[in-house]
Amino acid sequence: MAEIIEMPKLSDTMTSGTLVKWLKKEGDTVTNGDKLAEVETDKATMELENFEDGVLLRHYVGEGEEVEIGRPVCAIGEEGEEAPDAAGGGEGGPSEAAAGEETAGKEAASPTEEAAPESPLIPAEPAAETTASTGRRKISPLARKLAEEHGIDPARLTGSGTNGRIVKADVEKAVAEGVPAASAEPAPASAPTAPARESVREIGPPPAPAPTPVPQLESREEPVSNMRATIARRLLESKTTIPHYYLEIEVDMGPLLDLRQSINAGLADLPPEQGGARFTVNHFFLKACAEAIRRAPAINSTWAGDKVIRHGEVHLAFAVAVDEGLVTPVIREADRKGLRQIAMEANELTGKARQKKLTPAEMSDSTFTLTNLGMFGITSFFGIINPPNAAILSIGATVEKPVVVDGALAVGRRTTLGLSADHRVVDGAVGASFLQALQTVLESPSVLLV
């Protein structure tokens, strides 16, 4: 008898998830441990694991559709077995289920553009396409994305899908037949030109090339992803419930930059098995923060209402930009790890973050957070505290500027660091002590190698 696979709870705060992509098609043979689909939760994009052996008989959910915990997503059974009906699945398969009466008018069920495959050469299965309204026309997200890429107005197309829905094949047909682009204007008739005279030579510089047209801005609405909604909720909670205060300090980065250059010159060209490595400025900041927290441990705390929790380990979170916003992977027990280990873990977590492969455990239980906008040329800023942390360090760009050294004017390499702190936990003197400790470590960076 076929087994119905339901949407599981993939994180402690999850109430629903968006099925971003099916990894197994209807008719595929699956075994215990196979990954069936990618699901975006409120924290990350995770994989839906299979625990049954058999054949994937039916998808009940289309790509891009939001699914509540416990709702059927697919059926697995014996080859040739008929898939059972399931609440929310509908008799017409996932494409009709997403467009049927059960989800009519629900914006949450409309897939985002990011949920469609990035390349039209790797389309989703037709049965997994869901319906989105475009004016009075209905068009699948994959077809809509392809139409936008080719500048085709869906109003010019005739849909061959269910209830006249425009599908990928309709757009491809339009491209092949040369349907005019949405913004195309009728070309003016060319004026007749006089026959060229071979004996006449043009005098003067060649005509300037036509200017490249500037892309026009267009208005559109984008559904809020689970991750973006969670970021918005947590940041609002942070700013409205945590009494922030701000401190900043300027650091001489010359010694650290020279040390980094020297280390990379000796290690960057070696293979990993011979100790090869390449360290970024961020790696040094992570290690320096762990060392500074050891010297000013009160910063490593959490407000818990009727008590203050003083953490015995330093779990460092660092911000990584992804399409949906920011994620904060965590290096655990950073105070007990060397520069090489911290760099290795930071690189691995950053890669997983950009591939949307971080697990909730890899983004939980931080005690302090770093955020860096220096690579964008931002010289100073203050981040919003990442609960349950009591502080966040903001790292600006390193700039060359005139400084006075031993009474003489010189060119310095300076970075401004900003600290946002929770005044319920971290008094001003504590925040200042931490920044002073961090300044000392960064300006004498050899201690980071001990």
- Which residues are CB-neighbours of 26 under 8 A, at least 6 positions away? 56, 57, 58, 59, 125, 127
Calpha distance 316→332 (Å, rounded):
6
Calpha distance 252→334 (Å, rounded):
24
283 noted as active-site residue? no
Q: What is the 3-state secondary structure (H, E, C) of the chain?
A: CCEEEECCCCCCCCCEEEEEEECCCCCCEECCCCEEEEEECCCCEEEEECCCCEEEEEECCCCCCEEECCCEEEEEECCCCCCCCCCCCCCCHHHHHHHCHHHCCCHHHCCCHHHCCCCCCCCCCHHHCCCEEECCEEECHHHHHHHHHCCECHHHCCCCCHHHCECHHHHHHHHHHCCCECCCCCCCCCCCCCCCCCCCCCCCCCCCCCCCCCCCCCCCCCCCCHHHHHHHHHHHHHHHHCCEEEEEEEEECHHHHHHHHHHHHHHCCCCHHHCCCCCCHHHHHHHHHHHHHHHCHHHCEEECCCCEEECCCCCEEECEEECCEEECCEECCHHHCCHHHHHHHHHHHHHHHHCCCCCHHHHCCCCEEEEECHHHCCCCCCCCCCCCCCEEEEEEEEEEEEEEECCEEEEEEEEEEEEEEECCCCCHHHHHHHHHHHHHHHHCHHHHHC
**Catalytic-labelled residue, pool 244, 283, 315, 423:** 423
Token pair recorded at residue 412: 């310095």
Residue 382 identity: F
Q: How many CB atoms lie within 10 A of CB 198?
A: 6
Burial of 267 (0-12, 13-18, 19+ CB in 10 A): middle
Q: Which residues are catalytic?
A: 423
